[in-house]
Amino acid sequence: MDRKQRISYLPLEAMDDEMRAEMERCRREGTPRPESSAVRAHVPACFWAFARSWESIFRDGVCDHAIKELCRVYVSRSVKCEYCGNQRSEKARAQGLAEGQYDDLLNFESSATLGEREKAALAYAEAITWRLDADDALWDRLYRHFSEPELVELGCFIALTMGQQSWLRLLDIEHHEVLAGTDASMAPGFATAQALAESKASPDYWARRSARS
């Protein structure tokens, strides 16, 4: 099926100076990339509500950034938001998060590359995403690895990213269309428009696989 974008990108010239500065940050650092921000920019309150929340509880905050990044991509692969799932956090990369750890996300419990703290966080993301019952065993597991402030932040972050990605996947937006020419925060194999198209055409492309049986 041909791609059909559902909501337009607000042109940069229609934004004020502060919004354009944030768009430049998206171009330079990514996560989020400029396209999703240009959609939210139609309503400045939505643009800033997301940008400031994302800064406070994803890029900053009390819980490990790399763990939040794993949960973000777990949600991407669960709801099949290709736009979000083809991004990577530059900050998490700098902290040592390896691409092979992303490959294990949907089978995280059996992963040899993820530690027990990461697996507990992903079990939390799984329970939220798939609306699973949360029994004493899950909460005992979470409290072995996280403080209450960390659990609050992680839960709020998972809920925020799940809501945004469940929406963005419907819009059929794509990378390299707003402030093009940068590969900031792109996953390996998606750094240019041509590479992205080739990766998405591969039979091994992650979105072709079932998220959960």
Domain ranges of the chain: 12-200
- For residues 161 and 5, the answer to whether their CB atoms sit within 8 Å is no
**∠ CA 71-77-79, rounded to 5°:** 100
Residue in 4, 9, 71 with CA at minimum distance from that of residue 35: 9
- For residues 59 and 67, the answer to whether their CB atoms sit within 8 Å is no
Burial label for 90, CB within 10 Å (0-12, 13-18, 19+), is middle
Per-residue pLDDT of 110-148, as tens digits, reads 999 999 999 999 999 999 999 999 999 999 999 999 999
- For residues 36 and 168, the answer to whether their CB atoms sit within 8 Å is yes
Q: pTM of the predicted model, to two decimals?
A: 0.95
* pLDDT score of 187 more than 70: yes
* Percent of the chain whose pLDDT exceeds 70: 98
What is the model's pLDDT at position 119?
A: 98
* Percent of the chain whose pLDDT exceeds 90: 95
Band (2; pLDDT cuts 50, 70, 90): confident
Give the whole-angstrom CA distance, residue 49 versus residue 95. 27
**What distances in angstroms separate CA 208 from CA 31, 83, 200, 201, one per listed residue?**
23, 14, 9, 10
Q: What is the DSSP-derived secondary structure letter of residue 24? A: H
Mean pLDDT, the chain, rounded, equals 95
- Does the domain at residues 12-200 carry the CATH identifier 1.20.1290.10? yes
Residue in 36, 38, 110 with CA at minimum distance from that of residue 76: 36
Backbone phi, psi, residue 105, to 5°: -60, -45
Give the whole-angstrom CA distance, residue 213 versus residue 210. 7
180's torsion region: left (phi>0), alpha (psi -120 to 50) or beta?
beta
* pLDDT score of 213 more than 80: no
- In this structure, what token pair is assigned to residue 185? 């925060």
Give the whole-angstrom CA distance, residue 47 versus residue 38. 8
Count CB neighbours of 9 within 10 A.
19
